[in-house]
Chain A
């Protein structure tokens, strides 16, 4: 078990460009979450999947954000027409269904929009 992997670790992009991040969860975990974290704040919920189904998406998330989890394995998070306010650490976490199970977080992708 190699844990939750995220790629890339860092991304610098110009405003207006599109970016895509990848998350590979722990293979036995059927739930996958995306969070965003800015300096001095707790992780902010973006969306989550159970297997391949996207069950909830934050109302704070604009239409520029989209996530997929084809075949219930890895997931991608795409941000279109990036804005400076999108600069943050994007965290992926996975867990398995059932009570008493915590999240395992990946190391995150740090996005800087210039």
Chain B
């Protein structure tokens, strides 16, 4: 039931792009994306809803493929502040109303 994230870790140079994937074996109603910096709480980035459109937030955007039950997070022209661990949280169809989180993808952006 836990979504699978890939890759587990990414190392970038400032200005490079990255894609983080999240896939589920269950039919999904929504996918959330969060970023957690070391020693801090996870911070909400965006939500993708079933039937919704691709979302964007500055240089961070995401898509949701309902047929494949997959979501991807796109980080373009990465900045040092993008470093952290990214989690996807999935909500099953039928309105379970709770999120099940993946194990996370650790992103490191170097100067």
Contacts and interface: CB of A to CB of B under 8 A. Distances in A.
Interface stretch (A14-22, A36-44, A76-84): A36-44
Contacts of A40: 103-104
A112 B66 CA distance: 41
B103 A42 contact: yes
Contacts of A42: 2, 87, 89, 101-104
B88 to A, nearest CB: 9
A8 interface: no
A25 interface: no
Interface string B57-82: 00000000000000000000000000
A4 B42 CA distance: 12
A4 B43 CA distance: 12
B47 A43 contact: no
Given A91-B41, A106-B41, A107-B41, A100 B47 contact: yes
Majority-rule SS of B interface residues: strand
Interface residues of B, number: 24
A105 interface: yes
Nearest to A47: B98
Contacts of A100: 47, 49
B98 A43 contact: no
Nearest to B50: A99
B91 to A, nearest CB: 10
B47 A102 contact: yes
Interface of A: 4, 31, 33, 35, 40-45, 48, 50, 55-56, 91, 99-108
19 contacts: A31-B97, A40-B103, A40-B104, A41-B103, A41-B104, A42-B102, A43-B87, A43-B89, A43-B101, A45-B98, A45-B100, A56-B98, A91-B42, A99-B30, A100-B49, A103-B34, A105-B34, A107-B41, A108-B41
Given A100-B49, A105-B34, 15 more contacts: A31-B97, A41-B103, A41-B104, A42-B87, A43-B89, A44-B101, A48-B97, A48-B98, A56-B97, A99-B49, A100-B47, A102-B46, A103-B34, A105-B43, A108-B41
